[in-house]
Amino acid sequence: MRFRNLKKNIDTKDKKLKDEQVKVYYARFTDRIKAFITDMFMIYIPILYIITYVVLDGKDDFQSSQWAPLMGVTLYGFIYAILVSKLSQTPGKKAYVIKIVDDSSYENISFFRALWRFIAFLITATTLIGLFIPFYRKDKKALHDILASTVVIIDKQV
């Protein structure tokens, strides 16, 4: 056997082993929605409560302020990006045993990529079009997942 052919066989065997080792199960869209709602109650609502009653004087000041909701969303975005970059999960995603990873290497994503994913989610949720994409894709990626090159998978390490 020629060395060139031998090398090709080794490369294809290694590639097959890598493909077999990575078994990916994509998270259901309903679990993603439930995780999002859980995150809203566990992270975002306490932030809004602190802004409303600790920083400001109450709901009237919060409703008349333009920067208070913006600060709440910004703070939530930073907390979200930190959790996703360090743990690949938020508390809601941990409750439903799913995590956010890179779509090619299935490893954690960086802080800035997680922050970009959050900003892309805000744009996607505003237009609503990107939220219907997972119903038509095998990998169940929404528009913000496509833009950030991420995928939400079931965490099999539990």
Which DSSP string do the residues of 31-67 spell out, in sequence order?
HHHHHHHHHIIIIIHHHHHHIIIIISSSHHHHHH-SH
CA distances to 4, 26, 93 from 37, in Å: 55, 19, 10
Task: Report, as ranges of residue numbers, the positions in the chain whose pLDDT lies below 70.
Answer: 1-22, 158
Pull the structure tokens for residue 19. Answer: 């493909």
Smallest CA-to-CA distance from 152 within 135, 140, 136, 144 is with 140
The pLDDT assigned to 6 comes to 55
Tell me the whole-structure pTM to 2 decimals: 0.82
The pLDDT assigned to 18 comes to 47
Question: Could you tell me the residue ranges of all domains in the chain?
Answer: 24-154
CA angle (41, 46, 51) in 5-degree steps: 140
Residue 26 Rama label (left phi>0; alpha psi -120 to 50; beta): beta
The pLDDT assigned to 156 comes to 80
The pLDDT assigned to 5 comes to 59
